[in-house]
Structure 1
Amino acid sequence: MKEKKRAAASKKTKVIPIQWDATFFFERAVRSLDRYHYDKALKYFRRAVEYEPDNPVNHCNMAGILSEMGDYEESNRILRMIIDELDPAMTECHFYMANNFANMEMYEPAEDALVRYLEEDAEGQFLDEAEEMMELLHFELERPTKLAFIKAREGFYEHDQARAMLEEGKFVEAVRLLESIVEKNTEFLAARNNLALAYYYMGMFEKAMHTIGEVLEIEPGNLHALCNLAIFHQHAGNEEELRPLISQLCKTVPFHQEHVFKLATTMGILGEHGEAYRHFVRLMKEGSLRSDPCLYHYTAVAACNTGRLAEAERLWMQVAKMDPQSNVPGYYLEQLGRVREGGEPAPTSYHYHLPFEEQFKLWEKSSDTLPDHLKRDPLVRSSFFWALRHGDRNTKLQVIQALGMIADNEVKDALRDFIVEPQEDDYLKRIAIFVLRTIGVHESLKAVLEGEETVIEHSRMPSRLPIWEDKWQAVLEAALIRMNKHYDLVQQHDLLTLWIEFLSRVYPEVPKLGKVEGWAAALEYLTAKMHRRAISYHEVSERYGTSIATVSKCAKRIDEVCGIKEKMKMIFPSLTEQIRD
Structure 2
Amino acid sequence: MKKSQIGLDSKEKKVIRLRFDAGFYFELAVRSLNRHQYEKALKYFRLAVEKEPENPVNHCNLAGILSELGRYEESNEVLKGILDEVDPSLHECFFYMANNAGNMDNLELAENYLLEYLGRDPYGEFAEEAEDMLYMLSLELGRPPKEPIPAKLPPHVEKHEEAYQYLESGDFPPAIELLKEIIELEPDYLPAYNNLAQAYYYTGKIEESLDLIDQVLKRDPTNLHALCNFAVISDSMGKATLSQRIIQTLKNLVPMHKEHAYKLGLTMGTLGEHEVAYKLFSLLVKVEVLPEPDLYHYAAVSAWNTGRLLQARRYWKKALVIDQQSGVPRFYLKQLDQYLTHPDRSCPVISYDYQIPKEEIMLSKSAQDLHSDPEFISFLYTVMDEGEDEEKIEALQALAAINPDDLEKRLREFLLQTIGSIQVKRLALEILQEMKAAPPFTMNYEGYKLQLERPNAQVDFSVWKKKWDQVLECCLSHMEETSDKLKQDVMALWREQLNQGIPPIRKKEGWAAAIEYAVAKHHQESITKTALAHKYKISSSTLTRYIRQLEPVVTKLFYS
TM-score, normalized by length of structure 1?
0.36
- Structure with bigger gyration radius: 1
